[in-house]
Homo-oligomer: A and B are copies of this chain.
Amino acid sequence: MGAVKSKRMPRAVREQQMLDAAVQTFGQRGYMAASMDEIAELAGVSKPLVYLYLNSKEDLFIACIRREAKALVEAVRAGARPVLPADRQLWAGLTAFFTHTARHPDGWAVLHLQARTHGEVFAAEVAAMRADIVTFVTELILAAAREALPQALGCSPKLSTSLEQGGPPRAGGTPTDPHLPGGEVAGLAEALVGAAEALADWANSTPGVTARQASATLMNFAWAGLGDLMAGRPWSPPDGEGPDTGSGADMEDAGAGAVVHAGRTSPAR
């Protein structure tokens, strides 16, 4: 279908349509079960055209991984707000992440399930993206730690500025914050990313769990900690605004005005 129509499209547009169809098919049916026939039909093009553009099923899958990885990393980076206090930055980053994975469940399935299940070549593609995100999170935690203790460290919080400008972290080697040394920060970043991955899988596979709830759960876990949660002290933003009981569908400005209370953010079941 659509052969005449598709001839009028620029190559880049048609290729994106093929990738859209491929991500949907790989994400929902799995890499092995997905067929090139199915993907071509969903994209509204002929199978030979898919091969002409993307070469093979393997190359098409890799193109999907790369596109979805780039989109996810960009969404998380765009969500970071270095001008905010550390807890608000984390909340903004988490909501950006879970909003993206909730809106692109097939893309997330390609990245976190399919790509890692079907061979080392695909797994390596995802590992590279994951390393990017861990580095980014490490920088954010370091920046937050420095801001928390500028006097104790005798330095001003400059790292957040370099992040704001999209630049690399400051040169000068391993930071020596007495509370959060480099090795500890690297471990914390791994823990945070691992927790976020697990929660994205859980949110996307559990009916009724919204992006907002997943963000709130991880915010409470990562910022307040189980200790404070057990004592009935979830995280809440410093401005003390009232609870936002939105459904999670509208999270563009989720960093503002949210009160994340465990008792309010969990699905009723």
Contacts and interface: CB of A to CB of B under 8 A. Distances in A.
Nearest to A231: B148
The contact size tier of chain A is 35 or more
Main SS at interface, chain A: helix
Interface in A163-219: 174, 178-184, 186-188, 190-199, 201-203, 206, 208-209, 213-214, 217-218
Most buried by B among A203, A213, A262: A262
A29 to B, nearest CB: 12
A144 B184 contact: no
A117 interface: yes
Interface stretch (A15-23, A49-57, A118-126): A118-126
A61 interface: no
A220 B266 CA distance: 24
Nearest to A147: B230
Contacts of A183: 208-209, 213, 266-269
A222 interface: yes
Nearest to A234: B179
Contacts of A180: 229-230, 262-263
B181 A232 contact: no
Contact of A149 (B90, B141, B213, B232): B232
Nearest to A194: B198
B120 A184 contact: no
Contact of A194 (B149, B181, B195, B235): B195
Interface of A: 30, 32, 86-87, 90, 116-120, 123, 141, 144-145, 148-149, 174, 178-184, 186-188, 190-199, 201-203, 206, 208-209, 213-214, 217-218, 220-232, 234-235, 262-263, 265-269
